Every structure is written in C-alpha cells, then in structure tokens.
C-alpha cells in the first residue's frame, strides 16, 4: 500500500505492506534510526514520535495509519542546524546516559512544553511516565525539561 | 598561571565536564546494533521452547524451509554437525546453543529461521513443527536439590543431581564459638527475588563472515568484547585473529550483556554457512525470558550479638537458583561470586557462609545486575539483619551500626571471610546522611505520626562494596585473568587517541577517560578521542561490569599517561637544553626551575617526539599499559530512606532519599551523581516491583513490561545526593568505582524503611518486591 506522509517536514511516498509498523517504516525505509524499539508492546516509549504534534508509540501503530499525517522524529527536533532547547538541556543537565530512551523521552517532553510552557515537576513526571529510562533515575531528565521550559519561555518573551 | 591556561587545565579530574558522547545521542545519531545495515544482510529469528522441561522427539522444518523469503532453517542437529550445538559459559559450565536432546527452560532456543526480511523470518517460525515429550518441571531450587529430583543436566558427564556448585567461605569453628557467647541471635530468612537488568536496548548481533578469508566481523551488544572474542574462538574453532568483535553504541547493559547468548553463536554460524551478513535482534519478551536474569538467592542469615549490641558473628546458608545452565560470569574461585563481602561495614570477628547452587528449569543467569558479582545480595542480607537486630535489642539502628563499624584506623582491614578492605570511613558517611536527612527530628516526627495512626518509616543502609576485579591472582573470567588496559597515542599536533579495554554502555567513558588524560598529561579533554569496543583496535581487556572501568582501565590510563609524561620530560629537557631534574611539571607544561618563562608545552613536546628527538631516544609518544590492580576497591556509603505506609491499602510512598556515597576521588562528579541516581532508581524498582516468577509448570510470568514492572518517572522518587571522599590508597587516582553502589546499597534502605514503619506492630520481614498487597497482608496479620 502507498503511504503519503510528511516526516520532519519532508514529503515521502512509501510503498509498504499493510502490516508494517510505523517504526519499521521510519527506521528501515526512511533510514531514520534515531527512533528505537525497546519493547514492542507500548511498554517503554523508546519508539515515541510525534504524530501531528501528539506523542505516539510508533511500534504500536501501522505505517498506513500515518497516511496523510505529519510525523516528527528526533532527527526533526533541530531546525536549521540549531538544536532544540530540549536537546541542549538534556546535555547540560546530564539527562541521558546510554542514549537509547533519549529520542522518545525528548519528543514526549517537547509535546508537553507545546501545551504547558511552565510545567511543575509533577506535570513533567506525569507527562514522561510512558517513557522508561533505566540509566538516569529520571532526576536529571526532570531538571532538563525544566531548563528547556525556562529557555523556551525566555525566547518566547524576547520574540513577543 | 594565566586565566586561559587555568581554564584549559581544570576540566580534568574533578570537573563536571558535559559529555562528549551526548552530541550524537541527542541528535538521534548514535549507532546501536539494530541500526547497522550491511549489503545482502539476512535476518534471523529464533524458535523457543514453550515448555520448561521436555524431551525433543522430532523437529520438522520442511514447511518453514519452503516458505517465502526463507534462506535457511537451522536446528540443533545442524549446529551439532559443526560441533556448535553446545558452548562454554563464562562460569565454566556448558550451555546448549540450540537444544538437541531436551529443552530445559521455557524460552530455550530450539531452532532459527534465516530470511530475507525480519517479518518473513518470524512468519516461518510458526511453520516449524516440534514434537515434545514433557518432563516434570523443577521450579523450586530446594526441591531441585532433593535426592530423588529429576535430573536436569543429564548432558553432563558425572552429574548425578541438580547441584550446580557447593561453596563455603569463612571459619565455621570460630563462628560456632562466637554464637556460643551470644546473648541474642537475630535470624532472617529472605528471598532476594529473580529480577532482570532489562536494559532499554535488547541483545543483538550483526554477524558478517567472509567465506573467502574466514574473517568474522561481529557487531554485537557486548559488555566484554575481548573475553567474548576468546570464547568465540574456543566455541567456534575459528582462529582468534580472524574474529573481530565490534561493539557499537550500547543501549544499557547492567550485566545483561556480559554472557554469550545462543543467538550470537547461531547468527555467526549462519553467516559462515550462508556467506551473507546475518542480523539477529531479540524482542523484549525474548530478552526477559531467556537472557541473564539476576539474584534469585534464598538466604538464611543469623547474626550473633551481645545484649549491648556488639556483633560477634554471622552465619549464612543460601541456595542460589541458577536456572538450567550455570551461565553467569563468576570468577573461578568464587562460585557464589563475592557474596562473602556479607560482613559488610562491620568489624565482625567471625563469619561462615555456605552456598549451594541449584539447576532448575528456568532461564540461566544470575548475572550481576548493576552489581559486582553477588555483592548486592550480600549487602541486602547484612543491612536487613542489622535493622532487625536493632529492633530486637531496642537500639536505634544508626547507633547499632555506629557501635560496630570498622574504624578508620583499622584499615587495611582483613574481614572474617578474607577480604582486605582498602579504606573506609563509615561513620563519616553515616553522620553526613543523618545530618542531611534531619534524623533526630524525623524520629520525633515518626513518634508523633504513630500517635495519630500514621505509619512513617526510616530505613538506613550503610553498605560496603567490593569492586574493580582483579587482581589477577584471585580473579578470572573463564580462566582469563582480570586486569585491564589503556593505550595512549599522542599525535605530532598534540592531539591524542586513548584506546581502552573496557566498554561503555552509557557510563560516559569518552568523557571521563579523556579527563584522566587531561589531568595527567595536560592535553585538553576535547583533544583526546577515546576508543573502545573494537577488538582489532584496542588492547585486550575484560570489559565493563562490576564497577571495574575506573579501578582497572582508569588506573591503566593514569599509568600510561605518566609513562608518556616521563618520556615527554626527556624530550622537554632536550628542547630546553637543561637536565631533566631542572624541570618542573605543571599540567601540560614543563618549565625550568627558577626560570618559569623558559617552558615548553606538552604540544611542543609531542611535535618534537616526531620531528626533533634527542639522540638515542625512541621516536614517538605512544604506549600501552596493562594494569593488574593490587587489590579490589571498596566504595561505601549510607542511604537513608523515609517512607509513609498507608495502613488502609499497604501502599508505601517514598518521602525522602538521602544518599551519601564515598567512591574515593570523583573524576567527573556530574557523571558519578548520574550513576548514583540510576542505581537508586533501579534499587527502588527491585524493592517495590521488579519480579520474574514462574508458575508450577515453569511458565515465566514477567515476560513483558506489563508483567515485569519497571519504575517510571511517576513512581520514582527524587534523590538527594552527597559525598564523602576517602581515596583508595592503592589506586593511582584514588578512585574506587561507583556505577553500582546505589543498586547494591539502596534496596535494603527501602525495605528497612517499610519494616521500620511497621516494626512496632511486630512485622519483621516482607520479601521483595515489597508490594502494597504484601504490606497490607503483613499489617492484617500483625493486628490479628
């Protein structure tokens, strides 16, 4: 079946089997390997991408379901060579160790900050609770999201 | 020192340098094994046994062979034809690659399909027809050790029962004498449950064997690439120089990627036979049901004390459930790992440990999940015993610990089980933790809360670890002595490459090891490229587990840096036309004593090493060092956990976690703290929810993340971390290793906190995972 999908702003027409999972289309057909598979049962969130801005687990969605939609992966977070504030904050606050959960974690955080520019720790912890990290104990991830929120608010104020 | 110079040098040891490796990970540009695609690559999927114990009557692969996209179907018989049906384990046992005679656990590898596409490989698995003749499944290790139990390992010559090992440490007579003098004996029977390291990335391999040259390049998830290469040479009979293990980025290990798995061997065999690269990536259920689990220790501990709280002796009997194969990685002399560190932080004059390992019809393992060889089980037992002893004696648990700590002046301290503790200051760590948590006020608050019917609990663990194996005399993996290596090459332009024998899985080696070079040689960390995980490229090493990277390869890095600095001094003397004794070293710069303006930098020296050498001196500024530690290192600390238990539901919430860690000198404090955070979270998961269990037929319950629960950001508490610094006296940098301290130390602190909340009701033990249901049940029983 043919899927017409926008991925990180670029139009793609991909011929896939109806049973192909979205994550496999992204990884194997479009070679966007930043999206990882951690559990195949929606349990870990490593495969999280944004579908029209909403976080979804791409291991539990068929590629054909993305037809006509817009997908953002970790490769689409940076714009024009400029890192997204989330990416900068994850590095600055040591919010990652092995890096495997990081793309999904950052995308879930980016979606949170779109809807809530000034989240408290509880908001952050709730928003990220579909994404498991085994390395960091979450403390520095929470700090990173807070830092990114601050940076984004500052940018918004300056722009306004 | 000029400001610019200072800026340049202070980012070595002690500086929270942001991580070099993050630049690729935050962009999604890491390369994990599943990201590797080679031309002509095939995909392998493994058929696993649905039964825990059964004889294989027949395997019919004809339908699968004929299926769309299938290139080959491989069974144990096919492997046996190449003498590959069995492989050695890192603990000196054997393990079936694919079962030929019978299956011994649910999830055991039986056959594989190799196909053009991963979906087609999975499809064809369903077409393989295996006929099984079921046998009784042994899931209880105590029953497995009974004399009439059905024999699981009938493949092993001379094996007449299900005993995997028998092992003892300490002095039984001295211990009996100590117990005879005791006023009080506190006992605890507890099962440290089977749990699973569950790194976010599962295990996998891309095997690429060139049929013409015999060269095998194996991209695999390995925490120990060189040891795996040697074992591969032994198992496959391939010449070792033809095997190259390349470890790409690893998505967490925690001990799970130490063993060699059948999938690695089968994919390599398939690539060899088919002449095309073969990729095998296990799914999460395969990871949970077949790869190295952790713990599963049934422990009986007895602590002998005087009435005023002096510890006299410790006795431990334990049975470990090792599953169907003894397939963890224990040093040859230590069949229960380093469990005999069980005397912990205490000056216990006598101890005796008896351990028996049992084969059962469960997945093999017993790997050290973020832990140094069974240290976690040991730490848990002694810290739980001490808490219960405090209750029995009516003493404050902090005070009981304080009375029995090995004192700073007693180091080096030889324990009753034979360890020589290198250094410690346990009371300082305890004091800092109590002060930070506000202990006295908390105890007061606890009393007030109890009066209101609220259940507040304070749990303490003052743990001691033993990490950083070897020395080589006492420690080995499958006969390979435990040392580690570093090779440093300083280029003419003053930039450097450091090649290390240990293997990062997220610990930040690319950053911290560059910082060691920075401090020792004055080359800024961003000028040092750190390489690892390619056996053709880096010197032989034993890999990363047991918190050994910094104690071993970190030491090797310091030593080789110092050797090159000595050579640099000769070159600097030549350049400055003075004798070596007239030179002063200040990170990155040699100057003439009394004439500080006459100086050369390490970069000047590096260039001269290739362009302007002194007469008679060997060219270049390169070298390799293999570091054999004189002793293990002994990190320690105190964790205090505060919980509130809901008497109505049994649910418990963590209110505070205060962690004081002493891992000696901290190379990168930010990374050290990150390691501690991770360990505290995994310790919380183990204490509260992580459990792999089985029904009576040996069906694994805990085969996915809906059944095997891991803590998310929502449940995981916040952590407050503090440090004391007691340098290791024998490590060149005074460092001790820290990756596992918090997983080792914290479970007892969490459980002690819950028991502390319920102690006045008479509750003395709840086995992990301490679920709400178990707590509720304990409260109900206590009030009956």
| Each residue's pLDDT tens digit, A75-90 | 999 999 999 999 999 9
Same domain for A155 and A89, yes or no, is yes
- The span from the CA of B390 to the CA of B757, in Å, is 14
Q: Is the pLDDT of residue B3 over 60?
A: no
A9 and A51 part of one domain: yes
Is the model's pLDDT at B220 over the cut of 90? Answer: yes
Task: Based on the residue annotation, tell me whether B700 is a catalytic residue of this protein.
Answer: no
Of B34, B252, B283, the CB nearest to A40: B283
Residues of A numbered 83-122 whose beta carbons fall under 8 angstroms of chain B's beta carbons: which are they? 83, 87-88, 90-92, 94, 96-103, 106, 121
Is the domain of A69 the same as that of A94?
A: no
pLDDT score at B478:
84
Tell me the ipTM for this assembly: 0.98
Which one of A49, A76, A103 terminates a domain? A76
Does the pLDDT of residue B485 top 60, yes or no? yes
Cβ contacts (< 8 Å) between B31 and chain A: which residues?
33
Last residue of a domain, one of A76, A102, A129: A76
For residue B164, indicate whether it is catalytic.
no
Note whether A71 contacts B: Cβ–Cβ < 8 A: no
Domain containing A128 — which CATH number? 1.10.150.120
- Same domain, yes or no, for A65 and A116? no
From start to end of B522-651, where are the E strands? 528-531, 583-586, 589-592, 595-601, 621-627, 636-645
For residue B261, what pLDDT band results from cuts at 50, 70 and 90?
very high
Residue among B252, B283, B674 whose CB faces A134 most closely = B252
pLDDT recorded at residue B384: 98
Question: In this predicted structure, what is the pLDDT of residue B409?
Answer: 98
Sequence-distant (≥ 6) Cβ neighbours of residue A122 within 8 angstroms: none
pLDDT tens digits for A12-41? 999 999 999 999 999 999 999 999 999 989
**Which of the four pLDDT bands, split at 50, 70 and 90, describes residue B235?**
confident
Among B370, B401, B589, B656, which one carries the catalytic annotation?
A: B370
What residue has token string 């050797």?
A: B563
CB-side exposure of B632: number of CA atoms within 13 Å?
Answer: 29
pLDDT at site B8: 46
Q: Between these two residues, B474 and A45, which has the higher pLDDT value?
A: A45
| pLDDT band (50, 70, 90) for residue B6 | very low
B202: chain A residues, CB-CB within 8 Å:
38
Angle in degrees, 0-180, between the axes of helices A139-159 and A102-115, rounded to the nearest 10 = 40
Looking at the DSSP assignment, which residues form a beta bridge with residue B341?
none
**Domains, in order of start, for chain B:** 3-30+484-627 (3.30.365.10), 33-135+202-250+257-290 (3.90.1170.50), 379-468+631-783 (3.30.365.10)
Averaged over B321-345, what is the pLDDT? 94
Q: Looking at B223, B503, B515, B603, which residue is catalytic?
A: B223
* Cβ neighbours for B204, distance < 8 A, ≥ 6 positions apart: B33, B34, B220, B221, B263, B279, B280, B281, B282
- What band does B720 get if pLDDT is binned at 50, 70 and 90? very high
Q: Which residues from A are below 8 Å from B506, CB to CB?
A: 97-99, 135
3-state class of B41 per DSSP? coil
What band does B250 get if pLDDT is binned at 50, 70 and 90?
very high
Tell me what pLDDT residue B237 has: 83
Q: What is the SS3 assignment for B387? A: helix
Q: What is the CATH number of the domain that holds A27?
A: 3.10.20.30
B34 contact residues in A (CB cutoff 8 A): 27, 33, 36-37
Give the model confidence (pLDDT) of B170-216 as tens digits. Answer: 999 999 999 999 999 999 999 999 999 999 999 999 999 999 999 99
Tokens of B610: 């290739």
Q: How confident is the model at residue B238 (pLDDT cuts 50, 70, 90)?
A: confident
pLDDT tops 50 at residue B7: no
The DSSP secondary-structure symbol of B67 reads: S
- B2 pLDDT higher than 60: no
Binned at pLDDT 50, 70 and 90, residue B9 comes out as low
Angle between helices B397-404 and B426-437 (to 10 degrees): 160
The answer to whether A38 contacts chain B (CB < 8 Å) is yes
Could you tell me the residue range of the domain that residue A107 belongs to? 85-159
Q: Are residues A67 and A99 in the same domain?
A: no
Whether B334 is a known active-site residue: answer no
The last residue of a domain, from among A46, A76, A106: A76
- Cβ of B678 within 8 Å of Cβ of A32? The answer is no
Q: Is the distance from CB of B268 to CB of B206 less than 8 angstroms?
A: no
Q: What is the pLDDT of residues A105-139, one digit of tens each?
A: 999 999 999 999 999 999 999 999 999 999 999 99
Q: Rounded to whole angstroms, how far apart are CA atoms A141 and B26?
A: 13
Question: Per-residue pLDDT tens for B122-176?
Answer: 999 999 999 999 999 999 999 999 999 999 999 999 999 999 999 999 999 999 9
Task: Give yes or no: residues A6 and A51 share one domain.
Answer: yes
Active site residue B223: yes
Contact predicate A111/A55, CB 8 Å: yes
B224 closest CA partner among B317, B108, B76, B90: B90
Q: Please tell me the total count of domains within chain A.
A: 2
Indicate if the pLDDT at residue B649 is higher than 60: yes
Are A109 and A139 in the same domain? yes
Same domain membership, residue A146 and residue A127: yes
């Amino acid at each position: 079946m043919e899927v017409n999908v926008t991925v990180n702003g670029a139009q793609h027409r991909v011929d896939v089997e109806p049973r192909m999972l979205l994550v496999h289309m992204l990884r194997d057909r479009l070679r966007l390997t930043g999206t990882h598979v951690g559990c195949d049962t929606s349990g870990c969130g490593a495969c999280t991408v944004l579908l029209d801005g909403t976080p979804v687990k791409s291991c539990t969605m068929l590629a054909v379901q993305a037809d006509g939609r817009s997908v953002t992966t970790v490769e689409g977070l940076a714009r024009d060579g400029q890192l997204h504030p989330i990416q900068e904050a994850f590095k600055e606050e040591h919010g990652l160790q092995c890096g495997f959960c990081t793309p999904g974690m950052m995308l879930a955080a980016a979606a949170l900050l779109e809807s809530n520019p000034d989240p408290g720790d509880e908001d952050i912890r709730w928003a990220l609770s579909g994404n498991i990290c085994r390395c960091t104990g979450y403390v520095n991830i929470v700090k990173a999201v807070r830092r990114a929120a601050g940076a984004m608010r500052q940018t918004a104020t300056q722009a306004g | 020192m000029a400001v610019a110079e200072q800026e340049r040098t202070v980012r070595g040891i002690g500086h929270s340098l942001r991580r070099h490796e993050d630049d690729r990970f935050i962009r999604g540009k890491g390369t994990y094994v599943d990201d590797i695609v080679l031309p002509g690559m095939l995909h392998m999927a493994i058929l696993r046994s649905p039964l825990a114990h059964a004889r294989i009557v027949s395997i019919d692969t004809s339908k699968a062979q004929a299926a769309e996209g299938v290139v080959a179907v491989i069974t144990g018989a096919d492997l046996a034809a190449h003498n590959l049906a069995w492989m050695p384990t890192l603990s000196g046992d054997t393990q079936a690659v694919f079962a030929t005679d019978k299956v011994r656990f649910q999830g055991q590898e039986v056959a594989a399909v190799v196909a053009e596409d991963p979906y087609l490989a999975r499809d064809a698995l369903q077409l393989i027809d295996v006929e099984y003749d079921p046998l009784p499944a042994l899931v209880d290790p105590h029953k497995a050790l009974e004399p009439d139990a059905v024999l699981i390992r009938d493949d092993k010559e001379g094996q007449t029962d299900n005993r995997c090992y028998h092992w003892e440490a300490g002095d039984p007579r001295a211990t009996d004498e100590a117990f005879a003098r005791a006023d009080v004996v506190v006992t605890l029977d507890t099962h440290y449950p089977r749990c699973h390291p569950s790194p976010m990335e599962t295990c996998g391999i891309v095997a690429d064997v060139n049929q013409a040259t015999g060269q095998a390049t194996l991209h695999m998830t390995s925490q120990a690439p060189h040891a795996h290469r040697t074992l591969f040479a032994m198992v496959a009979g391939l010449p070792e120089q033809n095997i190259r293990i390349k470890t790409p980025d690893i998505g967490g290990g925690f001990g799970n990627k130490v063993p060699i798995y059948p999938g690695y061997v089968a994919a390599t065999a398939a690539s060899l036979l088919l002449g095309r690269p073969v990729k095998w990536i296990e799914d999460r259920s395969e990871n949970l049901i077949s790869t190295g689990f952790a713990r599963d220790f049934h422990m009986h501990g007895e602590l002998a004390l005087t009435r005023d709280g002096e510890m006299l002796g410790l006795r431990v009997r334990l049975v470990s459930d090792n599953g169907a194969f003894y397939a963890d990685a224990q040093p040859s002399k230590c069949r229960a790992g380093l469990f005999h560190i069980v005397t912990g932080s205490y000056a216990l004059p006598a101890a005796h440990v008896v351990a028996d390992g049992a084969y059962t019809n469960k997945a093999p393992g017993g790997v050290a999940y973020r832990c140094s060889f069974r240290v976690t089980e040991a730490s848990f037992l002694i810290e739980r015993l001490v808490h219960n002893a405090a209750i029995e004696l009516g003493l404050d648990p902090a005070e009981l610990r304080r009375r029995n700590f090995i004192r700073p002046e007693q180091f080096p301290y030889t324990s009753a089980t034979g360890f020589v503790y290198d250094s410690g200051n346990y009371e300082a760590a305890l004091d800092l933790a109590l002060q930070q948590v506000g202990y006295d006020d908390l105890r007061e608050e606890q009393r007030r809360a109890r009066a209101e019917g609220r259940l507040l609990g304070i749990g303490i663990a003052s743990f001691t670890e033993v990490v950083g194996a070897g020395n080589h005399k006492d420690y080995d993996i499958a006969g390979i002595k435990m040392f580690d290596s570093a090779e440093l090459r300083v280029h003419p332009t003053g930039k450097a490459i450091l090649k290390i024998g240990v293997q990062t899985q997220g610990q930040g080696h690319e950053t911290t090891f560059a910082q060691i070079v920075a401090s020792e040689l004055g080359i800024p960390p961003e000028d040092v490229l750190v390489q690892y995980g390619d056996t053709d490229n880096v010197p032989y090493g034993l890999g990363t587990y047991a918190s050994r990277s910094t104690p071993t390869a970190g030491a090797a890095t310091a030593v080789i840096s110092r050797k090159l600095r000595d050579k640099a001094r000769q070159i600097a003397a030549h350049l400055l036309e003075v004798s070596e004794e007239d030179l002063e070293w200040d990170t990155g710069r040699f100057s003439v004593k009394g004439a500080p303006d006459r100086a050369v930098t390490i970069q000047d020296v590096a260039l001269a090493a290739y362009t302007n050498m002194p007469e008679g001196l060997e060219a270049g500024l390169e070298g390799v060092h293999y570091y054999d530690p004189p002793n293990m290192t002994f990190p320690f600390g105190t964790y205090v956990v505060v919980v509130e238990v809901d008497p109505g539901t049994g649910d418990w919430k963590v209110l505070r976690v205060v962690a004081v860690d002493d891992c000696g000198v901290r190379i990168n404090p930010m990374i050290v703290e990150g390691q501690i955070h991770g360990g505290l979270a995994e310790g919380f998961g183990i204490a509260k929810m992580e459990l792999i269990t089985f029904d009576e037929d040996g069906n694994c319950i805990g085969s996915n993340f809906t059944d095997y629960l891991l803590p998310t950001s929502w449940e995981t508490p916040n952590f407050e971390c503090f440090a004391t610094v007691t340098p290791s006296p024998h490590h060149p940098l005074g460092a001790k290793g820290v990756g596992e301290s918090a997983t080792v130390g914290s479970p007892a602190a969490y459980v002690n906190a819950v028991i502390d909340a319920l102690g006045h009701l008479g509750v003395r033990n709840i086995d992990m995972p301490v679920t709400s249901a178990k707590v509720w049940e304990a409260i109900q029983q206590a009030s009956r």
